[in-house]
Amino acid sequence: MKLRSILAALTALVMLAGCGGSGGSGGGDGKLTFFSWDNEETMRPVIAKFEEQNPGVKVEFSNAPPVAEYISTLQSRILSGTAADVFVIAAENKTNLINGKHVVDLKDKPFLANVPDFNKTTYSGPDGAVYGLSVASWGAGVLYNQDLLAKVGATSVPKTWDEFLALCKKLKDAGITPYLESVQAMSTPLAAFLGAQNAAAGNQMDSKIFDGSAKFTDYWVEPLTQWSRLWQEGLVTRSVTGLTGDQVRTEFSNGRTAMIVAGPWDVPGVRKEAPKLKIAMAPIPGIAGGKPYLAGAASPGYAINAKAKNKEAAEKFLAFLDTPEAMALYQKATGAITVTKDFQPQLDEALTPIVSDVRAGNVYLPQIAWKRAEDILNVEATAQLQLLVQGKATPEQVAAALDTKLASTS
């Protein structure tokens, strides 16, 4: 009898746990479920303000860190019918969500009028529909420790990749770790090299690769070759494949590294950890006569689940996320370069060299530009880039592997 009682109690606990943490779809009872890749510290103030203004709605929040864990968790929830009413649509999963008809068309919603065409186009479908409310854009470049650069006589940032590598060597010879980047996702310098090349080619690079008139090997080999010089020339340790983005930023904040790749989201953390550090961000230096360029994209958007149980509250929530009040809370927490027309973000002065290009959409990210199978290709690209850094693959082999992977998805 005692055992039966214990089993009944355990069963009840499991059921309660399943209801509280699943992020499953809400009902029409005033509950709105929301699954994000921003953490609770970032989103809780925004949610609290929404709930204050909408006392009949209670938001049930869950999150997973970007990118791979978020994508896989969302996919599992969609397949099991437990996806939230509102979730984040990103570069890496937009095609699957749109083609699978898992997200609602927002093109006629008034709140979309407040965002630029660049952001709407990023999450649009072939029929002119728009499936994500993207309220910010980002650009990633090199974040410089100006004091460490001054120690080797550098008074300005490099404009070309050759100049950048020469600066790396000068810093290394002075006993300073010149540069770090995490290789657990798409490389920022590589994306910038490709972006500059794509712009010079009339933005046709990815269209040609995906319509079969060109291959990755036609465009990627030289950018890969230039990027891999960091390791081929012994300027950066090959052990960076084990570093996370947070670890890279910590090395920079502690004054142990002169240059890192970074986005706007890194700057608040650096300021908090090292308020006296003199820093500046600049685009990735250009290769082969190309101009400096930024990796980047329209930020992930907020999408409404096509099977949302509380679509009315979901639309209210998206409309709120678009307001200056919500923007102020989100921007304060993230330092994001927001793009809504009725809110002027207060940005760190270190971002000044990149802001105009970011807002103009002069940024590039392969996963955004790819026409299909972007999640599969992104996983393959990350794995291949790690092999390249480790000296286990050549630029030609990496590009060929992407061609093979793309062919396998046809």
Alpha-carbon distance 330 to 57, whole Å? 20
Cα separations in angstroms, 144 against 149, 249, 257, 318, 350 = 8, 12, 9, 36, 9
pLDDT digits (tens, 9 = 90+) for 275-285: 999 999 999 99
Domain boundaries, the chain: 31-132+300-335, 140-296+366-408
pLDDT-derived band at 360, boundaries 50, 70, 90: confident
Is the bond preceding 67 in cis, omega lying within 30 degrees of 0? yes
User: Which tokens is 59 given?
Assistant: 């938001």
- Are 31-132+300-335 and 140-296+366-408 the same fold in CATH? yes
pLDDT-derived band at 290, boundaries 50, 70, 90: confident
Can you give the pLDDT at residue 335?
83
First to last CA, the chain: 59
Alpha-carbon distance 118 to 372, whole Å? 19
pLDDT digits (tens, 9 = 90+) for 225-264: 999 999 999 999 998 888 999 899 999 999 999 999 999 8
Can you give the pLDDT at residue 126?
75
Cα separations in angstroms, 310 against 35, 38, 58, 59, 130 = 14, 22, 11, 11, 20
Q: What contacts 166, CB < 8 A, 6 or more positions away?
A: 158
Q: How many Cα neighbours within 13 Å face the side chain of 364?
A: 24
Sheet with 86-89, strands from edge to edge, namely 58-63, 31-36, 86-89, 301-304
Can you give the pLDDT at residue 13?
34
Can you give the pLDDT at residue 4?
41
pLDDT over 90, % of the chain: 80
Average pLDDT over residues 382-388: 97
In 3D space, the residue among 15, 34, 131, 29 whose CA is nearest the CA of residue 83 turns out to be 34
pLDDT digits (tens, 9 = 90+) for 140-185: 999 999 999 999 999 999 999 999 999 999 999 999 999 999 999 9
Cα separations in angstroms, 145 against 189, 216, 299 = 18, 35, 26
pLDDT-derived band at 97, boundaries 50, 70, 90: very high
Helix (H, G, I), strand (E, B) or coil at 356: helix
Q: Which fold has domain 140-296+366-408?
A: D-Maltodextrin-Binding Protein; domain 2 (3.40.190)
- Mean residue pLDDT of the chain comes to 91
For the ranges 21-35, 57-71, 395-409, the lowest mean pLDDT is seen at: 21-35
- Tell me the chain's radius of gyration from C-alpha atoms: 23
Can you give the pLDDT at residue 29?
64
**In the predicted structure, residue 22 carries a pLDDT above the cut 60:** no
Alpha-carbon distance 46 to 317, whole Å? 10
pLDDT-derived band at 6, boundaries 50, 70, 90: very low
| CB of 373 closer than 8 Å to CB of 409 | yes
100 backbone dihedrals φ, ψ, rounded to 5°: -80, 0
Amino acid letter, residue 45 = P
Amino acid letter, residue 380 = E
Instruction: CATH number for 31-132+300-335: choose from 3.40.50.10800, 1.20.140.10, 3.30.420.10, 3.40.190.10.
Output: 3.40.190.10
User: Which tokens is 114 given?
Assistant: 């407040």
Average pLDDT over residues 315-336: 94
Can you give the pLDDT at residue 125?
87
In 3D space, the residue among 291, 309, 372, 380 whose CA is nearest the CA of residue 26 turns out to be 309
**In the predicted structure, residue 410 carries a pLDDT above the cut 90:** no
